[in-house]
Structure 1
Amino acid sequence: MTDHLGNHIDISVTPKRIISLVPSQTELLYDLGLEESIVGITKFCVHPFHFKSTKQVVGGTKNIKIEKIKQLNPDIILCNKEENTPEIVAACQEICQVHVSDIVTIQDCLDLINDYGVIFKKSTNAQRISDKIRFHLNNFETFIKAEKVLKVAYFIWREPWMVAANNTFINHLLELNKYQNIYANLERYPEIELKKIRLQGDPEIVFLSSEPYPFKDEHAFEIGRKTHHAKTVFVDGEYFSWYGSRLIKAFDYFIELRKRLRTISN
């Protein structure tokens, strides 16, 4: 089979020693029942919590410890086009085969779950996870029909100020939630000038994500001075940016967030 970038993956022998360099994919592996096969993770792989003490940490998503990875003798290393650099992927390919995901839509997520089910001989578990995601998605789509469109900006970083824009999984989920992203005309994660936010689209809601930047109240106040009437809301970034099995919980979170926004707006 091939990964999302077209790289060949040999599945004639099921990989038994897995290194995951992507937090959301680590959680997915656990939910697929592959805990015993995971030998290496990143320092950002916080779910499940006990992995920090039971698995070998091989660095971050952008800065790996290649010698640690070699010592773990992996059969396969799991990467992501957005999370890991091309240099990291190339270095890992010198050690063993590498699967690189590229996630922009929910369908991409479902395809990845299916891929892992095939690669690791966990197709039944993969189908169960996919079915749960589809079930919660269907319920959410029924709920969101009655909600109005809100103009939003979704911030991910400060100094420089950065937002989620077009061709990202975050923007895909914003659209699904009927949030009109004022930066959707830009690509990926652009740096923006905060003083021009009203000229860009004058959002009704500004989302401050819990990751990767730890936004605080003073940052919300700083943004508020530039937007005037916009409401600034802290949101759980895992639900807007983690794919895989995290989506099972995400749609209930989105419903509760919408209900909270109704209260804020009134």
Structure 2
Amino acid sequence: MELPSLPALPLTVTDQMGRRVAVPFPPQRIVSLVPSQTELLFDLGLGARVVGVTKFCIHPAEARTSAVVIGGTKNFDFEKIAELKPDLIIGNKEENYQAGIEQLAATYPVWLSDISTLPEALDMIRRVGFIAGAKEGGEALAAEINASFAALAAPAVEVVPVAYFIWKKPYMVAASGTFIDDMLHRAGLSNSFSALQRYPEVTAEQLAAAAPQRIFLSSEPYPFGDKHVAEFQEMCPGATVEIVDGELFSWYGSRLRQSAAYFSRLR
């Protein structure tokens, strides 16, 4: 005889914004508003509980077919979310938009991450594992990622200045206070735009004045490709211009398992 499912018990937790959130434990109907956190939930074995994802949640491949697509990270379809009856929504301060989050939080438990460093990413992984009912998996994953970065030896050569571009029209770079900036430093590189904050627009003249030795064109969010390399090479003839895997620099969930090895190969 099949036993009836037990009702979820209330659990009050604090998110990375310092907000207190009451979550049914363990949650059974999770909506994820952030691609890297969607992948994390699946890698923690919780994919069956993920009922809603964004159109940008491309990993794993089945995420957008096994769950309902509820819009983008900055334009939620509130009617679709309501139909899903989520008992937990997981978002992020930077990737989502405040008005949408506030509207959701008026009705549902919304847990937000706020990440600009590796320790904050590891904290998120542990906390999401805990509140979603996969505490041991979250702890093990965070420990694995932490160990991989700890084993990333310091570069044998002088630290190289890098300009990391995330967008074109206008040109935008990742500067100080970003997760990408923290990843660059952990890769043994320095940020040519460390004097600026967040994701500033820069001109060709500013790039030439910064004189980076290397220019990284990220594969996302703007899909830089080989055709753009010559354009940047002309602006900064003395630099080495290359396309890099943006997911391994900016996805702060379980994909970080691959980042340290990738950074080692980039040197």
TM-score of Structure 1 vs Structure 2, range by shorter chain: over 0.9
Preserved contact between residue 209 and residue 234 of structure 1 (Cα < 8 Å): yes
By percentage of residues, which structure has more helix?
1
Distance of 2:219 and 2:165 partners within structure 1: 10
1:163-174 pair list within 5 angstroms: 163-174=173-184
Q: 1:90 aligns with which of 83, 102, 106?
A: 102
Indicate the larger mover: 152-161 or 208-217: 208-217
Structure 1 unmatched runs, 5+: 259-266
Partner of 1:243: 252
Partner of 1:175: 185
Q: State the 1:121 CA deviation.
A: 2.1
Note if 1:234 corresponds to 2:243.
Answer: yes
Q: 2:163 aligns with which of 153, 157, 169?
A: 153
SS at match of 1:84: coil
Note if 1:132 corresponds to 2:141.
Answer: no
Note if 1:219 corresponds to 2:228.
Answer: yes
Partner of 2:5: none
Note closer, same or farther for the CA distance 1:12–1:38 as it changes in structure 2 (3 Å cut): closer
Note if 1:102 corresponds to 2:114.
Answer: yes
Q: State the 1:145 CA deviation.
A: 4.1
Distance of 1:217 and 1:117 partners within structure 2: 38
Distance of 1:111 and 1:103 partners within structure 2: 9
- Count of residue correspondences: 255
Structure 2 unmatched runs, 5+: 1-12
Q: 1:53 aligns with which of 65, 79, 91?
A: 65
Preserved contact between residue 70 and residue 95 of structure 1 (Cα < 8 Å): no
1:188-203 pair list within 5 angstroms: 188-199=198-209, 201-203=210-212
Note if 1:73 corresponds to 2:82.
Answer: no
Preserved contact between residue 216 and residue 244 of structure 2 (Cα < 8 Å): yes
SS at match of 2:130: helix
Distance of 1:146 and 1:137 partners within structure 2: 16
Please report the TM-score for the alignment, with normalisation by the length of structure 1: 0.93
Q: State the 1:12 CA deviation.
A: 5.7
Q: State the 1:123 CA deviation.
A: 1.0
Please report the TM-score for the alignment, with normalisation by the length of structure 2: 0.92
Partner of 1:206: 215
Q: State the 1:73 CA deviation.
A: 0.4
